[in-house]
């Protein structure tokens, strides 16, 4: 039996979310969450019976049609039409790992009891999560402003027996999966379609996944950078605490301390050096890696707030007898953080490629391209080409999405965040940085062999030994694509 995470109003941290996902917890609504959902739903329908006031998206049209009153008899049809009309996505399909997060985050947001949905609607989303039923959602379509309308429409269609889902790696019409489990299609009531579609769960899911991955990548960058420094016969002075005491950015100091600790006890680092300085890609590891870590801290704060937020519209406050229409769905806080994180991570990959370049250059007594008989063998020459190509693509992907806006809905929605595009771009940058670090690791371990019998620190020797169980020394040219695949998988699985 899997461990159960109880959805409640308690603060949800990124660490808790990582545990829920990685340990494959199932979800359940806490009694207090169920009570809040029911109380809000009852309040909304009592309010509708006793008012002739226009309530946006509840008894009116949407967007520029906000001034069109909808009759009581058509309120449920209004919500059904909303879901169907907004399911207008295109492009590639959203990966299952992101869909799983979207389901969890949508349940969390609705469970605060400010959205007016039926309890059974939220429970069905929990069922999807627990049974690994993944709605087919497309990457393109959201402006990241009125919530992630298009992707959330596709996420929600299977509740009604519409759209498609993946179940056990098969793509199926959702109605067949509902029949398989004996689930009746949900019949939407007033505001439910709007509550399902309004929200930032597409952006937040991509951003959360990227943050979780980024936290490991920044640690790997330090470890691999330290190994490259050793292989390049680099100097330790740039990591001295005195330097960072007089320019005390937190990330700088942390990185310098980490590198120093990683190199403690190294025979190589303590050897007398013939060169006075190292290239920036080695000497400035604390400044560059550290700045990325500080950017990660900023993004983490933005997304932790969003994990614990109500982001649909209008927002219902039963205790205050208020239904307030506003802009909590607007993705600007996330869009800026997503763009910033992409830029910061891209720099981590950029400096990694420069270290790879230095290692294959034939400097400091290393053979050109890290192979015997260069000329007959090209060795690791083309691994740097691949890294350069990836770095260039990252630069293109880092054009900020958050500075763009295109008005929609007849000008009613006249400023949008484009945070969804920022999110999907960041996802690619994260994967690219992992590839770049894998290339650097391949080169660093190969270069270290030419420093033998001298050894680096115990920590780094353990990393090298583990890597060598997967990727052997390159004595003569071979297909490096397979080594690169293995290196990427090694980084995914290696525990720091």
Question: Which are the catalytic amino acids?
Answer: 56
Q: Report how far residue 402's alpha carbon sits from residue 400's, in angstroms, rounded to the nearest whole number.
A: 6
CB-based contact 141:105 (threshold 8 Å): no
Q: Cα dist. 106→12, 303, 424 in Å?
A: 13, 14, 19
HSE of 213, CA atoms in CB hemisphere, 13 A: 23
Nearest Cα residue to 339 out of 294, 400, 428, 291: 400
Is beta strand 26-29 parallel, antiparallel or unpaired with respect to 4-7? parallel
């Amino acid at each position: 039996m899997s461990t159960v995470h109880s959805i409640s109003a308690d603060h949800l941290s990124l660490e808790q979310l990582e545990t829920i996902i990685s340990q494959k917890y199932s979800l359940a609504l806490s009694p207090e969450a169920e009570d809040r959902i029911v109380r809000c739903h009852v309040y909304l329908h009592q309010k509708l019976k006793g008012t002739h006031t226009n309530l946006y998206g509840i008894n009116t049209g949407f967007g520029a049609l906000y001034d069109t009153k909808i009759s009581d008899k058509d309120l449920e049809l209004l919500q059904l039409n909303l879901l169907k009309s907004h399911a207008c996505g295109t492009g590639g399909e959203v990966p299952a790992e992101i869909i799983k997060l979207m389901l969890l985050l949508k349940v969390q947001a609705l469970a605060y009891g400010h959205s007016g949905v039926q309890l059974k609607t939220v429970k069905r989303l929990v069922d999807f999560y627990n049974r690994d039923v993944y709605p087919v959602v497309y990457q393109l379509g959201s402006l990241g402003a009125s919530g992630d309308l298009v992707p959330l429409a596709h996420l929600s269609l299977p509740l009604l027996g519409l759209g498609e889902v993946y179940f056990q790696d098969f793509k199926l019409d959702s109605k067949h999966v509902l029949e398989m489990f004996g689930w009746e299609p949900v019949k939407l009531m007033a505001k439910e379609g709007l509550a399902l579609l309004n929200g930032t769960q597409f952006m937040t899911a991509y951003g959360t996944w990227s943050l979780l991955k980024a936290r490991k990548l920044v640690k790997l960058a330090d470890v691999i950078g330290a190994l490259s420094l050793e292989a390049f016969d680099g100097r330790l002075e740039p990591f001295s605490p005195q330097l960072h005491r007089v320019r005390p950015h937190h990330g700088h100091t942390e990185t310098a301390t980490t590198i120093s600790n990683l190199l403690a006890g190294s025979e190589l680092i303590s050897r007398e050096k013939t060169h006075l300085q190292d290239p920036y890609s080695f000497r400035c590891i604390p400044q560059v890696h550290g700045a990325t870590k500080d950017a990660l801290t900023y993004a983490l704060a933005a997304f932790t707030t969003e994990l614990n937020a109500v982001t649909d519209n209008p927002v219902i406050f039963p205790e205050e007898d208020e239904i307030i229409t506003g802009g909590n769905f607007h993705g600007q806080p996330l869009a800026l953080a997503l763009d910033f994180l992409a830029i910061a991570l891209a720099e981590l990959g950029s400096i990694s490629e420069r270290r790879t370049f230095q290692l294959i250059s034939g400097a400091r007594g290393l053979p050109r391209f890290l192979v015997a008989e260069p000329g007959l063998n090209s060795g690791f020459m083309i691994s740097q080409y691949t890294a350069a190509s990836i770095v260039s693509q990252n630069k293109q992907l880092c054009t900020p999405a958050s500075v763009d806006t295109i008005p929609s809905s007849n000008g009613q929605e006249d400023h949008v965040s484009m945070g969804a595009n920022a999110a999907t771009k960041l996802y690619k940058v994260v994967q690219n940085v992992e590839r770049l670090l894998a290339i650097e690791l391949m080169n660093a371990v190969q270069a270290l062999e030419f420093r033998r019998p001298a050894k680096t620190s115990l920590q780094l020797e353990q990393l090298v030994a583990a890597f060598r169980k997967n990727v052997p020394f390159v004595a003569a040219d071979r297909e490096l694509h397979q080594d690169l695949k293995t290196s990427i998988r090694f980084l995914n699985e290696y525990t720091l």
